């Protein structure tokens, strides 16, 4: 049996090849795309191995799992990204370890994050999660604000103490006009990102693409891909 370190190194090398190939195909520099490894459901020991293998960005989607894991790995040179649906009663914990939250999707969350960031004396980078399948003015089933709510939310983040709007995040929708069309979905996200930069020029991060569709995201122009199972293996339970 191959040991875990070798397994992770092999998987990372394959993902790295995929990102490099996608960048080359799109005429982009490899440096334009940052790999975030989504470590949800996997133990702190894997995070430690990934750090030794050169990973610098990791992501989690549940505070209950992420908080102890981040504490166990606090000696490592890692940036933690929070990518899951976030309840306001969890934000105090999340701001203690996360440098970026990718799932900001409502005013109440902006208010809570701002208060927690101020209290912790930290600056928090916020990405607005866009639900490309949500109706106007609504939120998506898996979180995210409808495209027409993005600019207002960005203004709220920019005005909130302790928070900075840094870009957009999406998950390719399973329903609606973009179902099974990740390339088109990510293209639409890029249009929204262009609109956003007109009023918030520093909000230039585009977080899109996972194990199954990272090539589509890189082709569209994503700056950050969030890859879980292709690096760590198929998750043992829903996460
Ligand atoms: C789990 C998760 C990922 C990674 O998904 P994989 O298919 O395992 O690569 C990316 N983004 C979010 C928001 C996730 O919850």
Task: Give 113-144 pLDDT, tens digit per residue.
Answer: 999 999 999 999 999 999 999 888 888 888 99
**Probe residue for ligand 1, chosen from 210, 232, 233 as the CB with the greatest number of ligand atoms within 8 Å:** 210
The ranges assigned to domains in the chain are 4-231
Task: Output the CA 228–ligand 1 centroid distance in Å.
Answer: 5
Cα angle 65-68-139, degrees, rounded to a multiple of 5: 40
How far apart are alpha carbons 239 and 224 in whole angstroms? 20
211 lines ligand 1 (CB under 6 A): yes
Cα→Cα distances 20→13, 28, 35, 166, Å = 10, 9, 11, 24
Integer Cα distance of 47 and 39 in angstroms: 7
pLDDT at position 63 over 50: yes
CATH number for the region 4-231 comes to: 3.20.20.10
Specify which residues 199 forms β-bridges with: none
* Percent of the chain clearing pLDDT 90 (strictly above): 93
pLDDT score recorded for residue 136: 86
Residue partners of 226: CB distance under 8 A and separation at least 6: 36, 38, 59, 81, 83, 102, 207, 209, 210
For residue 238, pLDDT beyond 80: no
Q: Ligand 1: which of 11, 63, 83 to mutate, most ligand atoms within 8 Å of CB?
A: 83
Using the CB atoms, write b or e for 97-112: b if 16+ within 10 Å.
bbebbbbbbbeebbeb
Residue 239 has pLDDT above 70, yes or no: no
Compute the mean pLDDT over every residue in the chain, rounded to the nearest whole number.
Answer: 96
The share of the chain scoring above pLDDT 70, in percent, equals: 98
Nearest Cα to 197, choosing from 222, 166, 169? 166
Q: Which atom of ligand 1 is nearest to the CA of 212?
A: 7
Tens digits of residue pLDDT in 171-189: 999 999 999 999 999 999 9
- Residue 1 pLDDT greater than 70, yes or no: no
pTM, 2 dp: 0.97
Burial class (CB in 10 A: 0-12, 13-18, 19+), 27: exposed
User: Is there an atom of ligand 1 within 6 Å of 232 CB?
Assistant: no
């Amino acid at each position: 049996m191959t040991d875990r370190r070798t397994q992770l190194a092999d998987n990372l090398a394959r993902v790295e090849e995929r990102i490099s190939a996608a960048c080359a195909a799109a005429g982009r520099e490899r440096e334009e795309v940052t790999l975030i490894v989504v470590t949800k459901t996997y133990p702190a020991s894997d995070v430690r191995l990934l750090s030794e293998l050169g990973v610098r960005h990791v992501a989690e989607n549940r505070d209950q799992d992420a908080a102890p894991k981040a504490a166990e790995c606090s000696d490592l040179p890692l940036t933690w990204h929070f990518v899951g649906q976030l309840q306001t009663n969890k934000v105090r914990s999340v701001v203690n370890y996360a440098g970026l939250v990718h799932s900001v999707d409502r005013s109440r969350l902006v208010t809570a994050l701002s208060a927690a960031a101020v209290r912790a004396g930290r600056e928090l980078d916020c990405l607005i999660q866009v639900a490309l399948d949500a109706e106007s003015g609504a939120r998506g089933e898996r979180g995210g604000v409808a495209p027409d709510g993005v600019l207002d939310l960005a203004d709220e983040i920019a005005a909130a103490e302790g928070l900075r709007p840094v870009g957009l995040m999406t998950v390719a929708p399973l329903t609606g006009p973009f179902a099974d069309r990740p390339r088109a979905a990510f293209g639409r996200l890029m249009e929204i990102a262009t609109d956003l930069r007109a009023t918030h020029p520093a909000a230039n991060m585009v977080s899109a693409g996972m194990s199954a569709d990272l090539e589509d995201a890189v082709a569209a122009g994503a700056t950050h891909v969030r890859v879980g199972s292709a690096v760590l293996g198929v998750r043992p339970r829903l996460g």
